[in-house]
Amino acid sequence: MTSVPSLPLLTVDNAVATITLNRPAHRNRLEDADLQELLRHFERINHDTSIKVMVLQANTQGQKRPVFSAGYHVGGFDGETHDPAFFQKIPDALASLRPLTVCALNGSVYGGATDLLMACDLRLGLKGAELRMPAVALGLHYYPSGLQRYVALLGLALTQRAFLTARALPLEALAQQGLFEALCEPEDFDITLQKLVQDLRQLAPLSAETTKASLTEFAQGQSEEWLQKVREREALTSQSADFAEGRLAFLEKRQPQFKRC
């Protein structure tokens, strides 16, 4: 992979979309152009129903200590066209993506980029890496959906540690809260990611996508409207050809062939 800084890269292969943050010389900081590109990638992924899994990773080539992302470029806050509410759109869009999403956290993560981690469905982490949320140290109050994701995933106490001390937290402390599918040594990271993605690719896509949507909405708070929507999704999957195929494959002890219908 090239180490020349560029916008986030998107590749699609065998039902898996991979987005790679690609400013390694600047610790993969997120500039406004990167955020706009991420939104374009998300839109393309949502519209391509052949994509079952999206992986978010970073180019850490040439870094002494791998950094997934240093967060939003501080200089961007001073721009004449800066929109304080714009950054929130990116993790919100990531959280609502149609396919299953995996954050391959192959380095430390800081600032707003930590919410990209939280917005994914599943996460792998690199042993020895850290997370730091410096918003309060910079004089900034974080946006609502980001706070909600933090508390939902880490609980109140660990979220308070992250925000109210602004200290770096080792990923091992977050792993104790179940945030990561696994924490990996560098030499094991890629193979562990490949195995996870392969498992996700084999799930029934209609069931996976609707269950993901229901779980995300549940974390945001229940309502009668939400319960009705969940019942409709349950009925949809229970009557689907994929469910019939899944039952038959189980009885025949073979890998099911799902068609998202």
**pLDDT digits over 15-67, tens only?**
999 999 999 999 999 999 999 999 999 999 999 999 999 999 999 999 999 99
Confidence of residue 260 (pLDDT cuts 50, 70, 90): confident
Of 14-28, 55-69, 159-173, 223-237, the range with the lowest mean pLDDT is 223-237
Q: Give yes or no for residue 164 having a pLDDT over 50.
A: yes
Of 34-48, 71-85, 99-113, 245-259, the range with the lowest mean pLDDT is 71-85
- 9-201: CATH class: alpha beta
- Contact criterion met (CB below 8 Å) for 125 and 182: yes
Contacts of 24 (CB under 8 A, 6+ apart): 3, 5, 58, 59, 60, 61, 62, 63
Residues of the chain with pLDDT > 90, as a percent, come to 70
**What residue segments make up the domains of the chain, in order of their start?**
9-201, 205-252
- The C-alpha atoms of residue 58 and residue 120 are separated, in whole angstroms, by 14
Q: Give yes or no for residue 80 having a pLDDT over 60.
A: no
Q: Give yes or no for residue 105 having a pLDDT over 90.
A: yes
What is the structure's pLDDT at 250? 73
What is the structure's pLDDT at 2? 44
Q: Give yes or no for residue 235 having a pLDDT over 90.
A: no
- The C-alpha atoms of residue 168 and residue 34 are separated, in whole angstroms, by 25
Of 123-132, 157-166, 220-229, the range with the lowest mean pLDDT is 220-229
And the tokens for 166? Answer: 């602004």
Q: Give yes or no for residue 151 having a pLDDT over 50.
A: yes
Q: Give yes or no for residue 76 having a pLDDT over 70.
A: no
H-run or E-run covering 144 = helix 144-165
